Amino acid sequence: GIPMEIIVGKMFKLEIWETLLSSMRAGEVAEFWCDAIHTGMYALVSRGMRRIAEGRDPLEGQKHRCGMGNMFDYHSTGYDDLDELQQTPQPLIFIMELFRVEEPSAYKRDTWAMSKEEKLAAVPVLHSEGNRLVLRKEFGQAAAKYQEAVICLRNLQAKEKPWEEGWLKLESLVTPLVLNYCQCQLELGEYYEVLEHTTELLQKHNDNAKAYFKRAKAHAAVWNERDAREDFLRVAHLDPSMAAAVKKELKQLGERMRKKHVEDRKRYQGLF
């Protein structure tokens, strides 16, 4: 029920489709006969499209590798007719209807479709949009903006050698975005999400006081008193300017834990 989108020039699995579509006008329906040399990847493309039509994840059950690699692992597309076509490629007829054509500047590209320059340009825009949404207390939407910016940077980092200059420069942009994302998750009550991301961040940057502070608040929220106290004290050691905030948090933590202990005693007394 949703039209398929193809971004010309981004090496879609069936390159011939780009050629065919580029010969059409918007609103036109056309039929094309294609030799088998152009249709070898159709079985893999069709499998994904069929799964989407069935309401399933097109990558369901696959390992993190290319489609052809997964074919070697599983020896089947899951559809008999596509397996037959995969084994014996044939000429195919494609009937296409072109609904709409958009200029590159008008199309909001997904992260994977962006060039390096486009990703770098998108990051500050996404960061700014996230900050604006935070001011409006729309934390879920803000978190999504920060996350999208992080994905852009992680994609670029994957092409750099870890801990060298290019990688470190990108990492310096990632860190504040992850911290902003974690603050949104704290506001949304997603404490285990915060624990996961702050811990991952601290494995690389074990002197980041803000990451310890956010992790401490998440620990406190899920009653991990010992871990919360350790992280709060580490914050005060790393950044003395945060000592007052740490003192306030430790006082609140103590009060919450005392209240919880009283409630627990009453609850257990009732059991016996």
- Is 254 within 8 Å of 232 (Cβ atoms)? no
Helices (H), the chain: 15-22, 42-53, 67-74, 80-87, 116-135, 139-157, 165-188, 191-204, 209-221, 225-238, 243-271
What whole-number distance in Å separates Cα of residue 260 and Cα of residue 91?
71
- Rounded Cα distance between 162 and 252, Å, is 40
Q: Does residue 187 contact residue 218 with C-beta atoms inside 8 Å?
A: no
214, amino acid identity: K
Is residue 216 very low, low, confident or very high in pLDDT (cuts 50, 70, 90)?
very high
Instruction: Report the distance separating Cα 35 and Cα 20, nearest Å.
Output: 13
- In this model, does residue 191 exceed pLDDT 60? yes
The mean pLDDT of the chain is 88
52 pLDDT band (50/70/90 cuts)? Answer: confident
Q: State the CB neighbour count (10 A cutoff) for residue 147.
A: 18
Residues 6+ apart with CB under 8 A from 35: 91
Question: What pLDDT, on the 0 to 100 scale, is given for residue 77?
Answer: 85
In whole angstroms, what is the distance from residue 174 CA to residue 189 CA? 22
Contact 211, 201 (CB under 8 A): yes
**Residue owning tokens 């997964």:** 70
Lowest mean pLDDT among 103-117, 202-216, 229-243: 103-117
Which range, 6-10, 116-120, 263-267, is most confident? 116-120
What confidence tens digit (pLDDT) does each residue in 130-164 have? 999 999 999 999 999 999 999 999 989 988 999 99
Question: Which residues lie across from 97 on neighbouring strands?
Answer: 29
* Backbone φ and ψ of 188, nearest 5°: -90, -5
Sign of the CA dihedral 199, 204, 209, 210? negative
117 phi and psi angles, rounded to 5 deg:
-65, -40
pTM above 0.85, yes or no: no
pLDDT recorded at residue 165 = 94
Lowest-pLDDT range of 85-89, 102-106, 183-187: 102-106
pLDDT at 75 over 60: yes
User: All domains of the chain, ordered by start, with CATH?
Assistant: 15-98 (3.10.50.40), 116-270 (1.25.40.10)
Using CB atoms within 10 Å of the CB of residue 102, give its burial: 0 to 12 exposed, 13 to 18 middle, 19+ buried.
Answer: exposed
Most confident of 21-35, 73-87, 250-264: 21-35
